[in-house]
Structure 1
Amino acid sequence: MKRLLIKGGRVLDTQTKTDGVLDILVENGIIVKIEENIPSENTEVIDARNLWVLPGLVDMHAHLREPGFEYKETIESGTKAAAAGGFTTIACMPNTNPVIDNAFLVEYIFSKIQKEGFVKVKPIGAVSKDLKGEVLAEIGDMIQAGAVAFSDDGHPISDTSLMKKAMEYASMWDKVIISHCEEPTLSRGGFMNEGKKSTILGMQAIPEIAEDIMVARDLILAQYTGCKVHIAHVSTKGSVEMIRQAKAKGVRVTCEVTPHHFSLTQEVEDGWNAQTKVNPPLRTKEDVEAILKGLQDGTIDAIATDHAPHHRDEKILEYALAPSGISGLETALPLAMTNLVKNNILTPLQLVEKMSFHPAKILDLDVGTLQIGKCADITIINPDKKEIVDKNEFYSKGKNTPFHGMELYGKVFYTIVEGKIVKNIETIQRGE
């Protein structure tokens, strides 16, 4: 019998409202005791004094790039980056080549994870075939194969009739549709937020209403169909307010924000350094303030990385030609600790809610909590440890980040998947 004892850490769990210094005993991958002063005989012990013990972090929005774009990232390198960042479960988006729009490719992802994955991975299937927004993908078959949600992420579904059908179809299985909200005729060709800064830089821009219009449409469709809808990477004050109002009406809507959208504004953009180029673009100070309020009052349910690794040669292109995205798995927790917890925007339990419990709940996964009888997916961090971000030390193939050189709080000491240590302070290894 394999036994692991996590001793003397501050155990934080949203579902049970636990916040106290306790021991956790794990046997054969299952949590069997959570109490004070558990004896340590014949047990591997982790000394967690002065550390936080959290349910394994869950990222519901990551791009692993495989199949088709292995020069950017692979399942092996991406899940290793996830382990480094404290994530025990991640959901991968379908915009690969070929697109994950059928059961065979869902099964392919699972087979690769079994051989090469360092953490758990749950595939998200495409809403439309080949992400073209014209014909529904094989949603039912993909559910049977294990897809946990559906999204054309990176490609807004402009055909309202198709989106209505997708919601009606997904609601038959009570699955969630994850929407990339962007009105393409307003956003096409744009690189940054529309406003004074884009005018000064002479950059083609994307107005905030490009997001707001599609959020409004999808909220109306969600109310009409009764489908669970999740709004990805919310970035505008208008979107936050509309989602707040929709929730008050009982619409089955949830939403996420990325660390870069609560940490940065458009003021960091200079028109040439594409490390800050993301989609949706970085917005204004007022938008960030609305996002912080939405995180505090529960309007925003989850923090998701939108991990989007790119090859170095792509991100050194001129701003207009470089792809959008940040390699986010290894900086998400430190950014949340530094900008949210240390600034008293979120409590430690609220952080666990946004980065573990809620993402798991939205995707209907049986993770995201520390309870007796549950799988031992556990993240242990030092909340007060400060480190300087060094992109050259990323485990991800993607070194694209605007946070290089920043000093951030919150270092992951251990990532434990099903009772097996996949990351400790020094190394990362598969939990064989």
Structure 2
Amino acid sequence: MSKILIRGAKVLGGEPQDVLIDGETIARVGTGLPAEGAEVVEADGKVLLPGLVDLHTHLREPGREDSETVLTGTRAAAGGGYTNVFAMANTFPVADTAGVVEQVWRLGRESGYCDVQPVGAVTVGLEGRKLAELGAMHESAAGVTVFSDDGKCVHDAVIMRRALEYVKAFDGVVAQHAQEPRLTEGAQMNEGVVSAELGLGGWPAVAEESVIARDVLLAGHVGSRVHICHLSTAGSVEIVRWAKSRGIRVTAEVTPHHLLLTDELARSYDPVYKVNPPLRTERDVTALREALADGTIDIVATDHAPHPHEDKDCEWAAAAMGMVGLETALSVVQETMVDTGLLDWAGVADRMSFTPARIGRAEGHGRPVSAGEPANLTLVDSAYRGPVDPAGFASRSRNTPYEGRELPGRVTHTWLRGKATLVDGRLT
């Protein structure tokens, strides 16, 4: 059917309303809407949100299809309530040319589960020595607006300045993986009491904070946009807060796992908790939650980082860094932000849809749930609570830190331009 009536949904957590989808758009929002000629979805007070947008996803294709593909990654995204994801550039080959970003973009269009916007590399081969073809990637069919060497830091200040100057011409944004490489050589986890007790190489907070401090100053000098990937420390929060108070065009993201987990989990020596940047302290977690609530941190981004079993099921030092997150992100945000009273559902929509879409200029996404807007929507059973079972993930990888952990909320339906990609918790 071309018409779908979502009956009795709490739009952005408000009073129950009906939402009528006609084709690819929202036709009407109100109460008591007629169901004639429409497929009816009984929402029963579930929360209806705009489709989620993830500014930081690793889809691994091309080159590491053993971890994830664009198809499996976008299926995972739909299962988590996402209708748009930004695919990071650290693929093989690196997405540093118009040809590679167009390949990823086309694979996303073919998948049909979620729109995919490629992130272009800042430097050739992520090597930090020479700017990649930023203009050509922007002018390609993929229309790249976000550039990042994520996985590596653009550590050369001159290269970073040139990148900021270049993207300013088309209002692009450079997304920085803030990690001073010389301060993190051999680092395995957060530098602190736990790393000292375990004898694991420490990853100091200043390695992140010093790069952020430099880059917000550069962005202010150039007048360009800089975005801070996976901010993880209380000190980083204060630097971003200061920069925003000075009118510097900086935005920042936090991952769900940095809102919930701490470095104490490394005591298990289970590499599922090994991630970049590392899990920090309880003090950092508290600061991150408060900063997300007050808007210092603009968005939640998953940093979905799938790895095959053999890359994580080994000794800590040899294990790859990263966690999958697309299918659990909204549940973790409900646990840490909504159920604690720090954000309401309208705030979640802002941090996980409206604002990431604005930062990345994701056309048609992050729009209000109102008549005339594209029908990119997510229906959430916020009353649900249950254990995480990675066996049911659509992602090709299973490296989740939440296996067996009870989390609230469950995405039951996702619509991409009026087409159901998830129905009653099952992918179509």
Query: Do both proteins adopt the same fold according to a TM-score greater than 0.5, normalized to the shorter chain?
Result: yes
Question: How far off its partner does 1:377 sit?
Answer: 0.2
Question: How far off its partner does 1:386 sit?
Answer: 0.7
Q: Is the 8 A contact 1:171 1:228 kept in 2?
A: yes
Aligned counterparts of 1:393 and 1:426: Cα–Cα separation in 2: 11
Q: What is the 5 A alignment of 1:32-71?
A: 32-71=27-66
Q: Is the 8 A contact 2:383 2:408 kept in 1?
A: yes
1:2 corresponds in structure 2 to: 2
1:75 corresponds in structure 2 to: 70
1:282 corresponds in structure 2 to: 279
Q: Is the 8 A contact 1:75 1:117 kept in 2?
A: no
| Cα deviation digits, residues 11-61 of structure 1 (max 9, x gap) | 118xxxxx3321111111111211111111001111112201100011110
* Counterpart pick for 2:134 among 134, 139, 151: 139
The secondary structure found in structure 1 opposite 2:20 is strand
The secondary structure found in structure 2 opposite 1:189 is coil
Aligned counterparts of 2:386 and 2:81: Cα–Cα separation in 1: 15
Aligned counterparts of 2:57 and 2:113: Cα–Cα separation in 1: 15
The secondary structure found in structure 2 opposite 1:37 is coil
2:383 corresponds in structure 1 to: 384
- Match status 1:102 vs 2:102: no
Identity, in percent, stands at 43
Question: How far off its partner does 1:271 sit?
Answer: 5.9
Question: How far off its partner does 1:331 sit?
Answer: 0.8
Aligned counterparts of 2:285 and 2:62: Cα–Cα separation in 1: 35
Q: Is the 8 A contact 2:12 2:48 kept in 1?
A: yes
1:198 corresponds in structure 2 to: 195
* Counterpart pick for 1:208 among 198, 205, 223: 205
Aligned counterparts of 1:350 and 1:135: Cα–Cα separation in 2: 39
* Counterpart pick for 1:248 among 245, 250, 262: 245
- Match status 1:344 vs 2:341: yes
- Match status 1:423 vs 2:422: yes
- Match status 1:148 vs 2:151: no
Aligned counterparts of 2:40 and 2:137: Cα–Cα separation in 1: 41
- Unpaired stretches in structure 1, ≥5 consecutive residues: 14-18
Q: What is the 5 A alignment of 1:3-402?
A: 3-12=3-12, 19-145=14-140, 146-270=143-267, 272-366=269-363, 367-369=365-367, 370-402=369-401
The secondary structure found in structure 2 opposite 1:112 is helix
Q: Is the 8 A contact 2:5 2:21 kept in 1?
A: yes
Question: How far off its partner does 1:348 sit?
Answer: 1.4
Aligned counterparts of 1:426 and 1:329: Cα–Cα separation in 2: 14
Q: Is the 8 A contact 2:20 2:29 kept in 1?
A: yes
Q: Is the 8 A contact 2:413 2:425 kept in 1?
A: no
Q: Is the 8 A contact 1:203 1:271 kept in 2?
A: no
| Cα deviation digits, residues 144-199 of structure 1 (max 9, x gap) | 12213100001101110000000000011001110000111001210101111101
When the two structures are superposed, what TM-score results if normalisation uses the length of structure 1? 0.96
Counterpart amino acid of residue 304 in structure 1: A
The secondary structure found in structure 1 opposite 2:426 is coil
Question: How far off its partner does 1:426 sit?
Answer: 4.5
The secondary structure found in structure 2 opposite 1:234 is coil
Question: How far off its partner does 1:116 sit?
Answer: 2.5
Aligned counterparts of 2:236 and 2:338: Cα–Cα separation in 1: 23
Question: How far off its partner does 1:117 sit?
Answer: 4.1
- The RMSD of aligned alpha carbons is 1.1
Q: Which 4+ residue blocks in structure 1 deviate beyond 6 angstroms?
A: none
113-122 or 289-298, larger mean C-alpha shift: 113-122
Q: Is the 8 A contact 1:360 1:368 kept in 2?
A: yes
Question: How far off its partner does 1:343 sit?
Answer: 1.1
Question: How far off its partner does 1:114 sit?
Answer: 2.3
When the two structures are superposed, what TM-score results if normalisation uses the length of structure 2? 0.97
